[in-house]
Structure 1
Amino acid sequence: MSLQPEISQRDLRLRSKEIMDAVEDGQSYTVTRDGREIGELVPLRRRRRFVSRTEFAAMSRTSPGFDLERLRAEQEAVLDGDLDDPYAR
């Protein structure tokens, strides 16, 4: 038995707007048919678009160090030293 509220298939059909609004607000449901669990309605995880300055600073403190000279050396090893200027005539 699940911890989330159970709704019958019939309730889902008759009260779909009310139930979907609740799902949109974060509520999960177990859907039943003839008393048997047949599925779950769960809200989709929403992607965050913003990270606060405080959270970014905390993540940055634990991130690995960045060596600019090593990056440049790796780029030089991969790239051809004579890059053509796309605007040269």
Structure 2
Amino acid sequence: MARTIPQRELRNESAKLMDAVAAGETFVVTRHGEPVAELRPIQSVRKTFISPEDLARIAGAGVRIDREQFRRDLDAVIDQSV
């Protein structure tokens, strides 16, 4: 849940608030009592690195794809003509 703070607190306590955001907290900043901004941590969309353990787990799943069936499935939903 986001904590509401006035603009003055953001200005005066910015270093402390940035540490809190880095730790996962979210703040709604108000001006004259009206919400104007949200200060929150950036959420990573995807991992750019796969650990050796994760790679071994994924590779060991034993999932096999039938390439002919895969091609038929693609052809059924995608128009391949120009």
Say how many residue pairs are matched.
Answer: 65
Aligned to 1:29: 27
Superposition deviation, residue 50 in structure 1:
2.8
> Residues 1-23 of structure 1, C-alpha deviation per residue, up to 9 Å, x if partnerless?
xx410011000000000000111
Aligned to 1:83: none
Instruction: Give the % identical residues.
Output: 32
- TM-score normalised to structure 1 length: 0.56
Three-state SS of the structure 2 residue aligned to 1:44 is coil
Cα RMSD (Å) of the superposition? 3.0
- TM-score normalised to structure 2 length: 0.60
Aligned to 1:44: 42
State the distance in 1 between where 2:61 and 2:35 align.
Answer: 41
- In the alignment, is residue 11 of structure 1 matched against residue 15 of structure 2? no
State the distance in 2 between where 1:59 and 1:42 align.
Answer: 36
Aligned to 2:65: 65
Please list every run of 5 or more consecutive structure 1 residues that lacks an aligned counterpart in the other structure.
71-89
Superposition deviation, residue 60 in structure 1:
6.9
